[in-house]
Chains A and B, each alone.
Chain A
Amino acid sequence: MDELDRAIVNGLQGGFPVCERPYAEAAARLGTDEATLIERLEALLADGTLTRFGPLFDAVALGGAFTLCALAVPPEDFERVAAIVNAFPEVAHNYERAHRLNMWFVLATEKPAGIARALRRIAAATGLAVLEFPKLDEYFVELRLTA
C-alpha cells in the first residue's frame, strides 16, 4: 500500500460525490486522475483491503429491520451449527466469540416481521435457544479507520 492507496482508504470513506464524473472529481481532491483512482479501487477491492465501494444503506431507515442474536453452542457442535445459521439469507454477519455465548449474528430483513420468522426458524433448525438483543438506543459515531 503506497501513499495514494492510503489517501484513498483514509480520505474516501465518505463524501464520494453524486455527479456525472464522480471518480474524476474525487481523484482531483486526492491529487490524481480518474483512471488511476478507478484502477486503485479495483486493486484495493481485489486484494481485500476494501470490502465494498459505494453507498452504505441504513437498513432501518429503508424500512427494514435488524437485530443482534446470540447462541450458546456446545463446542463439539459448533461447525455444524455455524453451517445451519449461515445458510439463512437473513443472517448478515456471524462471529465466533470467546464466551459461553459463543456465536453472535446479525439478522437483517426487509420487513420487521421477517425477524421473528427467522428467529423461530433458526431456533427450530439448531435446537438451541436464541437470545435476541434488539437495539433500544443508538449512541452512534461513525468509525473512521486509518490505514
Chain B
Amino acid sequence: MTDAELVRALQGGLPLVSRPYHAVAASLGAAPEEVMARLAAMLADGRVRRIGAVPNHYALGYAANGMSVWDVEDAALASLGPAVGALPFVSHCYRRPRRPPEWRYNLFAMVHGRTRAEVGAKVAEIAALLGARSRAHEVLYSTRILKKSGLRFGV
C-alpha cells in the first residue's frame, strides 16, 4: 500500500461502518494497523489537516461568502497578513500576486456570513484593522457554485 493508494481510498470519505480503518485496509489488501499508523503519521506531519465532518456552508445558513481583496503595502503584509488570518470569521487568507493593470490586490481574505450585511460588517472590521496600510479593497460575492468536487486530484 502506497500513500497515494491510501489517499485515493479515502478521498471520497471514511466508510460509515463500525471499523472504518479495517474496511479501508481490507479494500487495499493492507493490515489495519498499517493504515492507522500511516494516517496518524500523515496527521502529525500535516499531509492530513484533520479528520472529521466537512459542513456545507450553505446548508448551515452561511449563504453569503465574500472574497475580500486588499491592496496592502507589501512591507506591511508580513505583520498584517497573520492578523487578518487570525480573525475568527476569515476562513482562508493568502498573499497572491498583483496582476496590473487588471488587478491591484495582493491580500485575499475569504469571509463567511449568514447575509451579505453580516459579511459587509466583517469586512469593515478588516478595513479597520488594516487602516491606511490598505489603499483599496473590494468584496467579490459568490453568486453561484459552478463546481465543487471535494478536491479530487485531476490527472
**Residue from B39, B52, B59, B95 with most neighbouring chain A CB atoms (10 Å):** B52
When the two chains form the complex, which single residue of A21, A55, A88, A101 contacts B48, counting CB atoms closer than 8 Å?
Answer: A55
Decide yes or no whether B102 CB sits under 8 A from chain A: yes
Could you say which of B14-22, B117-125, B129-137 contacts chain A?
B14-22
- Give Cα distance in the complex from A83 to B106, angstroms: 29
- Give Cα distance in the complex from A51 to B17, angstroms: 18
Decide yes or no whether B51 CB sits under 8 A from chain A: yes
Q: Are B138 and A99 in contact (CB under 8 A)?
A: yes
Q: Which residues of B contact A12 (CB under 8 A)?
A: 52-53
Q: Are A18 and B18 in contact (CB under 8 A)?
A: no
Q: Which residues of B contact A96 (CB under 8 A)?
A: 142-146
Q: Are B112 and A92 in contact (CB under 8 A)?
A: no
Decide yes or no whether B151 CB sits under 8 A from chain A: yes
- Interface positions of B from 35 to 73, Cβ below 8 Å from A: 36, 39-40, 42-43, 45-57, 59-60, 62, 67
Q: Are B152 and A56 in contact (CB under 8 A)?
A: no
Given contacts A20-B19, A22-B20, contact A136 B112 (CB under 8 A): no
Q: Are B147 and A93 in contact (CB under 8 A)?
A: yes
When the two chains form the complex, which single residue of B7, B99, B144, B149 contacts A95, counting CB atoms closer than 8 Å?
Answer: B144
- Interface positions of B from 78 to 100, Cβ below 8 Å from A: 81-82, 84-86, 88-97, 99
- Interface positions of A from 103 to 136, Cβ below 8 Å from B: 103-105, 107-110, 114, 118, 131, 133-136
Q: Are A147 and B55 in contact (CB under 8 A)?
A: yes
Decide yes or no whether B29 CB sits under 8 A from chain A: no
- Give Cα distance in the complex from A38 to B93, angstroms: 34
Q: Are A52 and B50 in contact (CB under 8 A)?
A: no
When the two chains form the complex, which single residue of B17, B60, B147 contacts A147, counting CB atoms closer than 8 Å?
Answer: B60
Q: Are B56 and A48 in contact (CB under 8 A)?
A: yes
Binary contact track B10-30/A, C-beta < 8 Å → 1, others 0: 111110111111100000000
Q: Which residues of B contact A95 (CB under 8 A)?
A: 142, 144-146
- Give Cα distance in the complex from A94 to B154, angstroms: 14
Q: Are A15 and B51 in contact (CB under 8 A)?
A: yes
Given contacts A95-B145, A145-B57, contact A57 B49 (CB under 8 A): yes
Q: Are A136 and B94 in contact (CB under 8 A)?
A: yes
Q: Are A133 and B13 in contact (CB under 8 A)?
A: no
- Give Cα distance in the complex from A82 to B145, angstroms: 11
Q: Are A42 and B16 in contact (CB under 8 A)?
A: yes
Instruction: Write the nearest CB–CB distance from B38 to chain A, whole angstroms.
Output: 10
Given contacts A139-B81, A139-B84, contact A16 B51 (CB under 8 A): yes
5 more contacts with CB within 8 A, not counting A18-B36, A140-B92, are A15-B52, A52-B12, A57-B151, A64-B153, A143-B92
